[in-house]
Amino acid sequence: KLILAVETSCDETSAAVIGAGPRILSNIVASQVDWHKKFGGVVPEIASRKHLELIEPVIDEAISEAGIEYKDLDAVAATRGPGLVGALLVGFAAAKGLAYSLGLPFIGVNHVAGHIYANFLINNEIASPFICLTVSGGHTDLLYFDRPGSYRFLGRTRDDAAGEAFDKIARFLELGYPGGPEIEKMAKTGDANAIELPRALVGEEGYDFSFSGLKTAVINYVHNASQRGEDVNKNDLAASFQQAVVDSLTARLEKAVMDFKAESILLAGGVAANQVLRNKVELIAKSADLEYYVPPLNLCTDNAAMIGAAAYYRYADADFDNLDIGVKADLSM
Ligand code: ATP
Ligand code: MG
Ligand code: FE
């Protein structure tokens, strides 16, 4: 079975072909980051315009790199949400148009589910039940899956998402965009114990997260230093901030691992590209004697292969969408 998947929820124009497994036959990602960089974040109007320019060539490339032809496809999928409405529309309309003209079933995919399903591209057999920590630019969710497709929320962020916190702090420290990789780079030569920062909600009941207090603490630290006329060591600050985020995330994960019976731990989303987080989660899994899964770096951040992976399981259940379905900017899982 061959599925063409399209992802345009934010600032990556991406198309992929997924074959049986699911496995990746092609995964083309055209990043617009250079166009958004000078604004310090994604500009929605620019994103939509760039998606329009790039969507056709990117889909064509995905088909040709997979070594197939359009007539070989069995289904077409696209991200339905969450994301920027204008950006979503471009990929969704292109995919629906293809499904219509090829007479194929169409599958509108939840982007955050896609992040989770990226794990199944690497391992088709993941032992259930599993606990999944999804950490991205817009989401920080702790989920319990009885099996793929059947889950419940354990916790979520009450304010900023983890990736959002990375991006905001990077912007504040003038480290560039996107913030996560820049902070990780700076942190490499910094001391993670140099600056004391809060770990919100750790030790409290439940499994929710909170990062706005940490953000405020970093901003206050810089303001106080500058009032005293002191220089801020950005490497130490980046390392201390990164450690605080990782500690906050993994403390809640550790609690869930103790409270719920699971076979595996999954990490997903753009922030899962962070090596300090990956190492810590791997350690938690090891000491709890659980399997640990995380996508390779290129499948952590936005890409169409993960959308195709989620669609693959929908296809297996013949769970299709009508072509009159629309995008949903605030679509929830
Ligand atoms: P969502 O998936 O919630 O809709 P999004 O698609 O914008 O949001 P992703 O593409 O999944 O988010 O991830 C991007 C986020 O991941 C950004 O906030 C970015 O800073 C963060 N990120 C990427 N690499 C790293 C890293 N190495 N360390 C920390 N954060 C990272
Ligand atoms: Mg992005
Ligand atoms: Fe994403």
Q: Cis before residue 82, ω within 30 degrees of 0? A: yes
Q: What is the pLDDT of residues 282-294, one digit of tens each?
A: 999 999 999 999 9
pLDDT (0 to 100) of residue 41: 84
List the 130-135 sheet strands across, edge first: 150-156, 140-147, 130-135, 264-268, 291-293
Cα separations in angstroms, 162 against 38, 43, 48, 137, 326: 22, 20, 25, 7, 28
Cα separations in angstroms, 324 against 26, 48, 51, 96, 97: 28, 21, 21, 9, 11
- Cα separation, 120 vs 73, whole angstroms: 21
CB distance 138 to ligand 1 below 6 Å: yes
Using a 10 angstrom Cβ sphere, with 0-12 exposed, 13-18 middle and 19 or more buried, the burial of residue 166 is buried
Using a 10 angstrom Cβ sphere, with 0-12 exposed, 13-18 middle and 19 or more buried, the burial of residue 43 is middle
- Residue type present at position 187: A
Is 274 annotated among the ligand-binding residues?
yes
Q: What is the pLDDT of residues 168-177, one digit of tens each?
A: 999 999 998 8
CB distance 180 to ligand 1 below 6 Å: yes
Q: Model ipTM?
A: 0.98
CA of 133 to the centre of ligand 3 (A): 14
CB distance 190 to ligand 1 below 6 Å: no
Helix (H, G, I), strand (E, B) or coil at 168: helix
pLDDT, averaged across the chain: 97
Quote the tokens at residue 148: 């793929």
CA of 137 to the centre of ligand 1 (A): 4
Q: Does the pLDDT of residue 199 top 90, yes or no?
A: yes
Q: Does the pLDDT of residue 318 top 90, yes or no?
A: yes
CA of 32 to the centre of ligand 1 (A): 14
Residue nearest to atom 29 of ligand 1 (CA): 180
